[in-house]
Structure 1
Amino acid sequence: MVTAPRPLHIVHTEASMGWGGQEIRILTESKGLMERGHRVSVLCAEGSLLQQQAADYGVVVTPLPIGRKGWRGLRAISRWLREHEPDVIVTHSSTDSWLTALAARLRSRPIPVIRLRHISAPVTKNLPTKWLYGTLSQHVITTGELICDMLVEYNGLPREHVTAIPTGIDLEQFQPGEQRQARAAVGLPEDLFIIGIVATLRSWKGHLYLFDAFSKMATPNMRLLVVGDGPEGPDYRKHVHQLGIQEQVLMVGQQRDVVPWLRAMDLFCLPSYANEGVPQALMQAMACGLPCVTTTAGSMGEIVYHGRNGLLVPPKRSDLLAQVLLNLAEDPVQRDLLATQAAQDAKRQFGLSHMLARMEQQFYAVLP
Structure 2
Amino acid sequence: MNTPLKILHTESSLGWGGQELRILTESLGMMKRGLDLRLLTPREATIFQEAQKRGLPVEAVPIARKNLPGLITLRERIQTLQPDVIITHSSTDSWLTALATRFLANRPALIRLRHISAPVPVNPANRWLYGTASLQVVTTGEGIRERLIRINHIPADQVHSIPTGIDLARFSPGDRQAARVTLGLPAEIPIIGIVATLRSWKGHHDLIDAFARLNHPRALLVIVGDGPREEFLKQRIAALGLSPERVRMTGRQENVPLWLRALDLFVLPSLANEGVPQALIQAMATALPIVSTPIGGIPEMIESGVSGVLVTPGDVPALSAAMGSVLENPSGGRALGMAALEVARARCSTETMLDRMEGVIQEALRRRDRRR
Measured against the shorter chain, the TM-score band is over 0.9
Pair 1:186-2:183 in alignment: yes
State the alpha-carbon separation in 2 of the partners of residues 126 and 340 from structure 1. Answer: 44
Alignment of 1:1-368 (within 5 A): 7-247=4-244, 248-367=246-365, 368=369
- What is the Cα deviation at residue 150 of structure 1? 1.1
Per-residue CA deviations over 1:168-187 (Å, capped at 9, x if unaligned) read: 00001000000011111111
The letter for the 1-side match of 2:128 is W
- What is the Cα deviation at residue 225 of structure 1? 0.5
Does the CA-based 8 Å contact 1:271-1:295 persist in structure 2? Answer: yes
Does the CA-based 8 Å contact 1:119-1:275 persist in structure 2? Answer: yes
State the alpha-carbon separation in 2 of the partners of residues 218 and 265 from structure 1. Answer: 18
Secondary structure of 1:189's aligned partner: coil
C-alpha change, 1:194 and 1:5, in structure 2 (3 Å) is farther
Per-residue CA deviations over 1:39-59 (Å, capped at 9, x if unaligned) read: 100001121100121133221
- What is the Cα deviation at residue 60 of structure 1? 2.1
State the alpha-carbon separation in 1 of the partners of residues 19 and 78 from structure 2. Answer: 23
Per-residue CA deviations over 1:243-272 (Å, capped at 9, x if unaligned) read: 111331110000012011000000100000
| Higher mean C-alpha deviation, range 271-280 or range 151-160 | 151-160
Does the CA-based 8 Å contact 1:46-1:67 persist in structure 2? Answer: no
State the alpha-carbon separation in 2 of the partners of residues 232 and 134 from structure 1. Answer: 35
The letter for the 2-side match of 1:23 is E
Does the CA-based 8 Å contact 1:46-1:66 persist in structure 2? Answer: no
State the alpha-carbon separation in 1 of the partners of residues 3 and 141 from structure 2. Answer: 29
State the alpha-carbon separation in 1 of the partners of residues 79 and 154 from structure 2. Answer: 30
What TM-score results when the alignment is normalised by the length of structure 1?
0.97
- What is the Cα deviation at residue 34 of structure 1? 0.2
State the alpha-carbon separation in 1 of the partners of residues 10 and 255 from structure 2. Answer: 25
State the alpha-carbon separation in 1 of the partners of residues 54 and 12 from structure 2. Answer: 19
- What is the Cα deviation at residue 218 of structure 1? 4.4
Moved over 3 A (4+): 4-7
Per-residue CA deviations over 1:18-69 (Å, capped at 9, x if unaligned) read: 0000000001100000001101000011211001211332212111010111
Can you give the 5+ residue segments of structure 2 that lack an aligned partner in the other structure? Answer: none
State the alpha-carbon separation in 2 of the partners of residues 5 and 32 from structure 1. Answer: 19
Percent identity for Structure 1 against Structure 2: 47
State the alpha-carbon separation in 2 of the partners of residues 342 and 7 from structure 1. Answer: 37
| Higher mean C-alpha deviation, range 157-166 or range 266-275 | 157-166
Per-residue CA deviations over 1:183-206 (Å, capped at 9, x if unaligned) read: 111110101210000000000001
State the alpha-carbon separation in 2 of the partners of residues 345 and 295 from structure 1. Answer: 17
Secondary structure of 1:105's aligned partner: coil
The letter for the 2-side match of 1:150 is R
State the alpha-carbon separation in 2 of the partners of residues 74 and 197 from structure 1. Answer: 38
Does the CA-based 8 Å contact 1:267-1:290 persist in structure 2? Answer: yes
What TM-score results when the alignment is normalised by the length of structure 2?
0.96
State the alpha-carbon separation in 1 of the partners of residues 7 and 215 from structure 2. Answer: 49
State the alpha-carbon separation in 2 of the partners of residues 242 and 106 from structure 1. Answer: 57
Does the CA-based 8 Å contact 1:105-1:111 persist in structure 2? Answer: no
C-alpha change, 1:5 and 1:295, in structure 2 (3 Å) is farther
